[in-house]
A and B are shown apart, each in its own frame.
Chain A
C-alpha cells in the first residue's frame, strides 16, 4: 500500500445502529465545502444522505480462494471503488458507511488484497461512532461491537450528554482495554472537527512509528477468553530476523483468526534500518522505514489486538526472538 498522490483516501464509518453514523456523515458532507465526495452506503441506512454522489451497495463479504480462511474481502467495495476510479472528475475522498453489524476486517483487508483498489485508493482511517449510553451493553452482547472498537483509529464517543461522569469513565476504560491506540473523542451529536477524522493516513506504515505502548501495566484479570484485548511488548535487545519471521509467520498462520490487528517497529541485529509493519488478521504490510534516528535508543515494539491473546504465549515467543 504505497502512497502516491493519485490515491483517493477512503474513510470507513462503522458503529452500531443509532450511534450517529449518518449524523457524522451528513456533517462531513455539509461542512466540507467545494470538495467532491462519493459516499457508499448500504440499503438499510438509517436516514437520508445529503450528497450528489451516493452509491447503494450490499455488504458482500467474499472469501478469497487462496487457502487463507480469514482472508475475506468486501466484493461490493472492489466493484464500486474500481468503477469510481474511471470517473473523469477526481474525487477528494470516498466515505464508506457500514451497517451496524458489519465486521471491519473485510473492509480493511480489501485494501491489502485487491491490487486495483490498492493502486488507486488508500484506506485513510476507520472511524467508529459509539453510543456512550449503550456501548457497554453492545460490547457484551455483540462480537461486532468489539471488532468495530478494535479496528478503530478514531472512536467518536457520542451522546456523552446522556451519561454521567462515572458512566463515561467506565465506557472509556472499556474502549481503552480493547484498543489503547484509538483516539477517543467525546462528542454530542457528532460535533467534531473534521481534521480529527479525515486525512489521518492511519494505515500508512509511517503512522506505525507513532505507536507508543504505554499500557504495559494494564490488568487483564477479569476477562472472558473471547473478549478482545490488547498486549504489547518492548525489547531493547535487538531481534534475530530469521527467528522473528519464523515465529511471527507461524503465529499468524495458526492464530490469524483471533489476531485482529498487529503493529510493530523492529530492531534487527545487523540491520541499520527500522522495520515497520502493520497487519489485519493474516495480511501484512511491511517495509524498512529508513535509519534509526540519531541519538535515540533502538528498541523493538510490538502490539497485538485480538481474542484469546493470553493463550498464545506471545511474551515467550517474542523473548525467543531476541538475538543471543
Chain B
C-alpha cells in the first residue's frame, strides 16, 4: 500500500467514491458480512440486501423491525432480529427460520463448521449439524456477546461479571469454566491464534484474558464505549474504536501489558466508530463518526489513504470481499459505498 494523501483533507469525492457505486437508501445500516465475493448488509428496517459486483439485490424481508446481528455460515448468512427470529438466509434470498423466541430479541448469532448459535436473553442456543433441537446453555444474566474460537471447540459467552468459557471435550460434551471480572461485558472475541479472549465493557474499557494462565487486565483510557474491535494481521494487534484514533494494542510476544498502543490515523476531532482489519495485511480500515473511512498501515501511519469522505452519519459497517478486491462501507444514515480497492491499471 502506498500513501495517497493527494485528496486529503479535500472535501471532493475520493477516487474510491468516484470509481465505486453509492447507494443512498436512507435506512440505518446495522451489519455487513462478506460471504465470498458478495457482501450481505443488514438494515434497521429488518431487511437484508446482498451486494455483488457493485449491484444490490432486492431487499430480503428478514425481520420485522431491526436486523440486530449477522454472521457468516458457509455460503449463507445468519441473522437475529427484534422479532425474536433466528434466520439462515441464502444469498439468493431463501429464508430458513432456525429459532423463534417471540418478544425476546435474538441479540447475537455465530456459526462454526455447521454449528449454529444464537443468544436470546440469558440463554445460548446451539444447533449442532443435523440436529433439530438446540442445546441450551444458561447464564446468570443477559448475554453480551458470543464467539467461537477458530477451531470451534471453545465458545465464549460474555455476561454480567465476566465470561463463561464453554469447551467441547472429545466426547463432544460441553464443560464450562468462568473468567470473572466485575462489571458488564458486551462483545467478546478470541484472538485468531486462540491465545487471548477480549471483551468490551459497559465502562469505557476493554478486558482481556490470556487463556493459558488466566492472566487478565484492562485496557482503558477511552472517551466512549468501545463498540467495534478486531484482531489484525493474525493476532499481532487488537484494533479498537471508541477514541479519536483507532487504538491498536500489541498482542504479539507477551501481550499488551506494559506496552503502549499505536494510535492512528489522527484526522481531527471525530470519533472512531468502526474498525475492520484489512485481510492478510498489518492494516486497518477505520470508520469515523462523520462517515469518513481511512485505510492505514498500523506500523506506518503515514501510509494512510482516505477511502470515503464524510457523510455526516457514523460508520456502522465495513466489510471486505474474500478476494480483497472490493469493500463496502455502510453508515447510520443508510449510505452505502461499494468500491474496488486497487486501481485497475495496477492489478
Contacts and interface: CB of A to CB of B under 8 A. Distances in A.
Contacts of A114: 202, 225
A256 B251 CA distance: 41
A79 B141 CA distance: 13
Contacts of A89: 45
B103 A88 contact: no
Most chain B beta-carbon neighbours within 10 Å: one of A54, A64, A83, A114: A83
B162 to A, nearest CB: 11
B183 A65 contact: yes
B203 interface: yes
Contacts of A75: 141-142, 160, 184, 202
Given A65-B201, A75-B160, A83-B82, A53 B225 contact: no
A62 B107 CA distance: 18
A80 interface: yes
Interface residues of A, number: 26
A68 B249 CA distance: 28
Interface in A34-59: 53-56, 58
Contacts of B183: 62-65
A3 B30 CA distance: 25
A60 B332 CA distance: 28
A62 B82 contact: no
Given A60-B141, A62-B184, A87 B66 contact: yes
Interface in B84-125: 102-105, 107, 121-122
Contacts of B142: 58, 60, 75-76, 79
Contacts of B74: none
A166 interface: no
B46 to A, nearest CB: 8
A158 to B, nearest CB: 26
A267 to B, nearest CB: 34
Interface residues of B, number: 31
B44 interface: yes
Given A55-B105, A87-B66, A116-B225, A65 B182 contact: yes
Given A55-B105, A58-B142, A89-B45, A115 B225 contact: yes
A48 to B, nearest CB: 12
Contacts of B122: 58
Interface string A78-94: 11100110111100000
Contacts of A54: 103
B231 interface: no
Q: Main SS of the interface on chain A?
A: mixed
B121 A53 contact: no
A5 interface: no
B65 A65 contact: no
Contacts of A87: 28, 44-45, 65-66
Contact of A79 (B103, B107, B203, B332): B107
Contacts of A55: 82, 103, 105
Contacts of B182: 63, 65
Nearest to A65: B183
B203 A65 contact: yes
Most chain B beta-carbon neighbours within 10 Å: one of A58, A64, A65: A65
Nearest to A87: B44
B219 interface: no
A137 interface: no
Contact of A86 (B44, B107, B160): B44
B203 A64 contact: yes
A86 to B, nearest CB: 4
A78 B30 CA distance: 17
B328 interface: no
Contacts of A64: 183, 202-203
Interface in B305-333: 332
B203 A56 contact: no
Contacts of B30: 86
B27 interface: yes
B45 A60 contact: no
A53 B65 contact: yes
Contacts of A63: 182-183
Interface string A88-105: 110000000000000000
Interface string B189-225: 0000000000001110000000000000000000011
Contacts of B184: 62, 75
A83 B105 contact: yes
A70 to B, nearest CB: 16
Contacts of A116: 225
Contacts of B43: 88
Contact of A56 (B66, B103, B224, B334): B103
Given A75-B142, A79-B142, A83-B68, A66 B203 contact: yes
19 contacts: A54-B103, A55-B82, A55-B105, A56-B102, A58-B121, A60-B142, A63-B182, A64-B183, A65-B183, A66-B203, A75-B141, A79-B107, A83-B105, A86-B30, A86-B44, A86-B68, A87-B44, A89-B45, A116-B225
The 3 closest A-B pairs by CB, nearest first: A65-B183, A88-B45, A56-B103
Given A55-B103, A86-B332, A88-B45, 9 more contacts: A56-B104, A60-B141, A60-B160, A62-B160, A65-B183, A76-B142, A79-B142, A84-B66, A88-B28
Interface of A: 53-56, 58, 60, 62-66, 73, 75-76, 78-80, 83-84, 86-89, 114-116
Interface of B: 26-28, 30, 43-45, 65-66, 68, 82, 102-105, 107, 121-122, 141-142, 160, 182-184, 201-203, 224-225, 332, 334
